[in-house]
Amino acid sequence: MTSLKTTKNGSALAVIVTGGARGIGHAFAQRLAQDGFHVVIVDTVGAEHSAEQLVHEGFSAKGYTANVTQASDWDGLLQDIVVSGQTLHGLVNNAALFASLEMQNFEQVTRDEWMQVMEVNTYGPFLGTQKVAPLLAAHGGGAIVNIASTSPLKGVTGMPHYVCSKGAVIAMTRTLARELGDRGIRVNAVAPGFTLSEGILLNKEHVEKFRDIGKNARALKRDQLPQDLQGAVSFLMGLDSAFMTGQTLVVDGGAYFV
C-alpha cells in the first residue's frame, strides 16, 4: 500500500472530494486515497460511511455531512482540516444534481428547477473554490479538478438546466485557472461521457435513453464505468500535470473529439 503523502514538516496532504459518498465521487476518493492522500469526503448523505469504508480498506479518510452550497458548512470542515494539522492540497468538485434528475422537455423546466440545478452544479464548485483557495495558496498552491460533462459539448437534449450548468463548469474552469494561476493553484476539468454510476443505475429512464446511444457513439464500444474516470482525476491532481491548467479532459471512450 502507498504511504501517506506528507509535507516536509510531516503534515498529511489532504484532498477534498465533494459528492464522494457514492458512484463516481466515491471512485475518485478511492483512487486519491490509493495515491496517498488523506481524503476528505463531503456529501449531504453518506459521507461518513463512505470514509469509513476507505479507512476499513487501510486508507486515511474522513467524511463530513455538508452541503456544497452552504458557506458555513465549508467553514466548519476546513477549520477541522486545519485544526487536525493536515495540509490541503486539492479539491475535486464532483457533487452535482444529475443522476436523480428527470428527463424534461425544455418548456417544462421551471424556474425553481433551473435555479436548484444551477445552485448545486455551478455555485457549489464556485463557492468551494473560493473557500479552499486561501488554504491552498498558504502552502504554495494546489490543484482543483471540476467534474464537467460531455453533454454541453454535444448539446444533449432532455435536461437543458443540467447541460447549461456543465457548460458553465467548463467556463468556470477556464476563468478560475487564470484568476488563480499566480497563487500556484491549477484548475482543470474532466468531462465524462454517460457513465454507469451507482446513481445512474437507479434511474431507469437515463439508462434506457443513454446507455446504448452512448455505447454506439464511442470508438471504444463498451459501457463507461466510474473506474474509467479515476486515472484522469489522479493525473490532474498530481505533479505529472504541473504545467496544465484551464483544460478540460474528455474521458468518454472516444465519442466526442475535442
Ligand X SMILES: NC(=O)c1ccc[n+]([C@@H]2O[C@H](COP(=O)([O-])OP(=O)(O)OC[C@H]3O[C@@H](n4cnc5c(N)ncnc54)[C@H](O)[C@@H]3O)[C@@H](O)[C@H]2O)c1
Q: What amino acid positions are annotated as catalytic residues?
A: 162
Residue 160 sits at the vertex; the CA angle it makes with 107 and 149, to the nearest 5 degrees, is 170
- Residue 109 cell numbers, joined: 423546466
C-alpha 117/C-alpha 35 separation (Å) is 32
Residue 183 sits at the vertex; the CA angle it makes with 26 and 47, to the nearest 5 degrees, is 20
Question: If binding is defined by CB under 6 A, does position 173 make contact with ligand X?
Answer: no
The nearest distance, CB 28 to ligand X, in angstroms, is 9
Question: If binding is defined by CB under 6 A, does position 131 make contact with ligand X?
Answer: no
Query: What mask of x and - would describe binding to ligand X in positions 40 to 59, judged by CB under 6 A?
Result: --xxxx--------------
Question: If binding is defined by CB under 6 A, does position 200 make contact with ligand X?
Answer: yes
Question: If binding is defined by CB under 6 A, does position 113 make contact with ligand X?
Answer: no
Residue nearest to ligand X (CB): 199
Cβ nearer to ligand X, comparing 94 with 245: 94
The nearest distance, CB 18 to ligand X, in angstroms, is 6
Query: What mask of x and - would describe binding to ligand X in positions 10 to 39, judged by CB under 6 A?
Result: --------xx-xxxxx--------------
SS3 assignment, position 177: helix
DSSP assignment of 134-175: HHHHHTT-EEEEEE--SHHHHT-SS-HHHHHHHHHHHHHHHH
Q: How far apart are the first and last CA of the chain?
A: 36
Question: If binding is defined by CB under 6 A, does position 250 make contact with ligand X?
Answer: no
β-pairing, 87-93 with 185-192? unpaired
Q: Using CB under 6 A as the criterion, which residues of the chain lie in contact with ligand X when the complex forms?
A: 18-19, 21-25, 42-45, 67-69, 94-100, 120, 124, 147, 149, 192, 194-195, 197-200
